[in-house]
Amino acid sequence: MTTLTDPPAESFKLSMLIYDTRYRSITFQTIALIAFLLLIGWLINNTAQNLVDLGKEPSFGFMNEPAGYDINQRLIEYNSQSSHLRAAFVGLLNTLLVAVLGCITATVVGVIVGVLRLSGNWLVARLMTVYVEMFRNVPVLMWIVLAMAILIEGLPSPRDFRGEDAVASMSVFDSVAVTNRGVYVPEPLFARGLGDVSVGGLFEISLDLIAILVVLGGGLFVSNLIKKRADVTQNATGVRPRTWHLRTGVIVVPLLILLVILGFHLGYPELSGFNFSGGIHLRNSLIALWLALSLYTAAFIAEIVRAGIMAISKGQTEAAAALGIRPRRIMSLVILPQALRVIIPPLISQYLNLTKNSSLAIAVGYMDITGTLMGITLNQTGRELETVLLGMLIYLSISLIISSAMNWYNSRVKLVER
Amino acid sequence: MKKTAIFGALTVAGLMAGAAGAATLDDVKARGKLNCGVSTGLAGFSNPDANGNWEGFDVAVCRAVAGAVLGDANAVEFVPTTGKTRFTALASGEIDMLARNTTWTLSRDADLKFTFVGVNYYDGQGFMAPKELGVSSAKELDGATVCIQTGTTTELNLADYFRKNNMSYEPVPIETNAEAQQQYLAGACDVYTTDASGLASTRATFEDPSAHVILPEIISKEPLGPLVRHGDDEWGDIVRWSLNALIAAEEFGITSANVADMAAAAGDSPEINRMLGTEGNLGEMLGLDANWAVNAISAGGNYGEVFEKNIGESTPIGLARGLNAQWTEGGLLYSPPFR
């Protein structure tokens, strides 16, 4: 009987770090990591040291000092005595405003163009191709500047509206003024408003708006209940009860009652002094940036949508047609829901691109976070490093929030595998 | 322990990097070219001509310094900067000096760590409006839309002025003078505000300058001057005294035409002799050649010549000397003695 002896216990030798394939890759990775960290450390240290030598120790104390400059478009209360921090916040809200408006418009236009590009109508399909190729092959900055130039040079200035023989006049029953300084539209006013509520002393939210949103939300909820009930009835009896009048009613009627209670009326813009006053002023800088960003990004989204639709096998369309579903319904009920799985991941990066491209706003003088924090504040305080780092951090946070929201949506619509 | 040693070494490396940046004069001499920051184009002050050569009132300061340091007024690399990029360019060492209608303020001196070496133009912020608007005073501008170059002291002055007078306005921030001009002419803003000299310069480029008025109010003091960064006083002295040489030359009657003759041999006036290097060793004290001031003056003439050639009454810009006359003529220009 032979006894099996244990193999001699291998003692670990230092040379094995290089010659033993089990450890070699770890060794190299560790060395690379250390070298990388050293490089980063050196960069940070060198920067900090040079700043200290220049007498500019990094500090964020300047954010609490009065900004001293005015901002034209402000969604929250702000004046030149407010702090740089608040100015940055005003800029951030402006960035978010144009990003949200842009993403919505770009999606709507992009989906329509993407679907139309696959249209059987030769002319429509070709026109959409021209649109896509024109917009996505020219830098977005050019589109922004072009949009602004058209708005400034093409539209009448407020002084053209003045006098007996005015060259320009207001449109839509004298309620909307389209000028080269922006579009003035009527604003909603409340004779018996509920006032504002202050949120943490930072900014104020109109209680009227909250009341309207609550009533609207309630209406939508009830309307949804009615729809579910109709679904149940349809499943049970095969006949769908007529509900559209009820569903519109529960949304519209409470809203109208609330508006009457609040004393709702419209404030029209009118020419006074140099400019129009009253009404909501949509500045040309916002319109130009919004239009250019949306149309530019929509061209990319159109391609993504087209790719998504083409990824769905033709059998799906044919099967749906065989069941007697109408073409428009095939698109909205069969093809698009499946295409969404392909569309959404690249769509996320288009939203991120649009948001980041909005930092080109300074080209048209739109005061976004780049214009306030990384523009005027940087210039007046001379804190390049701090403001730019802060700005990068803000853009990073916005982008991460957008992508996590979109990823959540993606996980909801993606194919559930069992 | 090991970490401390590494960071210690890094600190030393960082310090050496800081020290290397200090001797601007040596850098300029080694490079054979002066990097001078100017505007992206403001007629009369710094603007490339049809052949791409930079010319103007601020450009002349750059050329004078290049003449004093390198003996060649053309050894200048002009770096166009916007109101936003100028300070970063100077602080980072991309340019050796900045001559770009920059207002001397306390915070730029103390907080941004720059040294203003003097004033080459005493200015103030004004407003320009189209004549058809019928405005005769800045006090009537309540509710106006104002075009303004962003990243300058003008937007702070503007905010202060309107707040002080309890008026409202709508600022339209714009990156460069050219864009501001376009928006103003299209009527996207009612008035354009910047330094009065800049307004005159901009108006001169309009198709019909007479259709626009510059309002009488000057709402701020804007002493414009060349600047260098903190930390190299020797270099600051060179730029300061190059500018003073131009100013003193006008006072003493030294022009680009007669400077060579006057420098050929010592004359009657001891101060002129010291300045032109025929007596004493002022050049050596600055670390420059004895004929540094001769080279600075022959680059474009004395202050008065530079003024008349670029922005004076005979030019389209048509600025009067006003505050920028010699102190002997009732102005503010006053060079310290060359001694």
User: Is B313 inside any structural domain?
Assistant: yes
Averaged pLDDT for residues A148-164: 84
Residue B319 has a pLDDT of 87
Residue listed under structure tokens 């030798």: A13
Residue A416 has a pLDDT of 65
Residue-by-residue DSSP string for A228-279 = HHHHHHHHHHS-PPP-HHHHHHHHHHHHHHHHHHHTEEEEPPEEETTEEESS
Of B200, B220, B240, the residue that ends a domain is: B220
User: Is B337 inside any structural domain?
Assistant: no
Nearest chain B Cα distance for residue A365, angstroms: 5
Co-location of B112 and B189 in the same domain: no
Co-location of B129 and B56 in the same domain: no
Residue A43 has a pLDDT of 92
Contacts 24+ apart (CB under 8 A), A330-333: A331/A115
Candidate from A33-42, A50-59, B221-230, B238-247 with smallest mean pLDDT: A50-59
pLDDT digits (tens, 9 = 90+) for A181-205: 888 988 888 877 777 777 776 677 7
Which chain B residues have a beta carbon less than 8 Å from that of A153?
Answer: 186
User: Is B82 inside any structural domain?
Assistant: yes
Nearest chain A Cα distance for residue B18, angstroms: 6
Residue A48 has a pLDDT of 84
What percentage of residues in chain A have a pLDDT greater than 70? 94
Of B154, B185, B220, the residue that ends a domain is: B220
Interface of B with A in 211-250 (CB under 8 A): 229-231
Are B109 and B116 in contact by the 8 Å Cβ rule? The answer is: yes
Number of independent structural domains in chain B: 2
CA A134, CA A142: separation in Å to the nearest integer?
A: 12
Of B176, B201, B220, the residue that ends a domain is: B220
Residue A299 has a pLDDT of 96
CA B300, CA A178: separation in Å to the nearest integer?
A: 51
Co-location of B40 and B173 in the same domain: no
CA A192, CA A176: separation in Å to the nearest integer?
A: 25
Four-residue CA torsion sign, B281, B287, B293, B295: positive
Q: How large is the angle between the packed helices B233-252 and B292-300, nearest 10 degrees?
A: 60
Could you tell me the CATH number of the domain that includes residue B130?
Answer: 3.40.190.10
Residue A418 has a pLDDT of 61
Residue B17 has a pLDDT of 43
Residue A90 has a pLDDT of 93
Q: Is B187 left (phi over 0), alpha (psi -120 to 50) or beta?
A: left
Co-location of B41 and B96 in the same domain: yes
Strand order, beta sheet including B191-195:
B169-174, B144-149, B191-195, B125-130, B212-214
Averaged pLDDT for residues A402-407: 88
Residue B334 has a pLDDT of 93
pLDDT at A255 over 60: yes
CA B156, CA B220: separation in Å to the nearest integer?
A: 10
Residue A8 has a pLDDT of 65
The domain of B236 spans 24-122+224-329
CA A145, CA A292: separation in Å to the nearest integer?
A: 9
Low-confidence spans in chain B with pLDDT less than 50: 1-21
Co-location of B236 and B165 in the same domain: no
Co-location of B228 and B205 in the same domain: no
User: Is B193 inside any structural domain?
Assistant: yes
B94 has a chain A CB within 8 A of its CB:
no
Interface of B with A in 139-178 (CB under 8 A): 141-145, 150-152, 155-156, 158-160, 162-163, 169-175
Q: Are residues B143 and A275, on separate chains, in Cβ contact within 8 Å?
A: yes
Which chain A residues have a beta carbon less than 8 Å from that of B175?
Answer: 362-363, 365
Co-location of B36 and B92 in the same domain: yes
φ, ψ dihedrals at A282, nearest 5°:
-90, 105
User: Is B239 inside any structural domain?
Assistant: yes
Q: Which tokens belong to B277? A: 């290097």
Q: Are residues A69 and B156, on separate chains, in Cβ contact within 8 Å?
A: yes
| pLDDT confidence tier of residue A4, bands split at 50, 70 and 90 | low
Co-location of B142 and B192 in the same domain: yes
Q: How many CA atoms lie within 13 A of B201 on its CB side?
A: 21
pLDDT at A170 over 80: no
CA–CA–CA angle B44, B50, B52 (5° rounding): 85
Question: Under DSSP, is residue A160 helix (H, G, I), strand (E, B) or coil?
Answer: helix
A22-56 as b/e, with b when 16 or more CB fall inside 10 Å? eeeeeeeeeeeeeeeeeeeebeebbebbbbebbeb
Averaged pLDDT for residues A327-355: 89
Q: Which tokens belong to B104? A: 């001397």
User: Is B266 inside any structural domain?
Assistant: yes
Element (H, E) at A300: helix A284-310
Q: Are residues A72 and B173, on separate chains, in Cβ contact within 8 Å?
A: yes
Strand order, beta sheet including A280-283:
A177-179, A182-185, A280-283
Rg of chain A (C-alpha set): 30
Co-location of B256 and B316 in the same domain: yes
Other C-beta atoms lying within 10 Å of the C-beta of residue B49: 9
Q: Among A34, A43, A70, A161, pick the best mutation site for testing chain B contact (most B Cβ within 10 A).
A: A70
Co-location of B178 and B297 in the same domain: no
Residue A3 has a pLDDT of 64
Work out how many CB contacts closer than 8 A connect A with B: 139
Residue B22 has a pLDDT of 58
Q: How many CA atoms lie within 13 A of A305 on its CB side?
A: 25
Co-location of B105 and B199 in the same domain: no
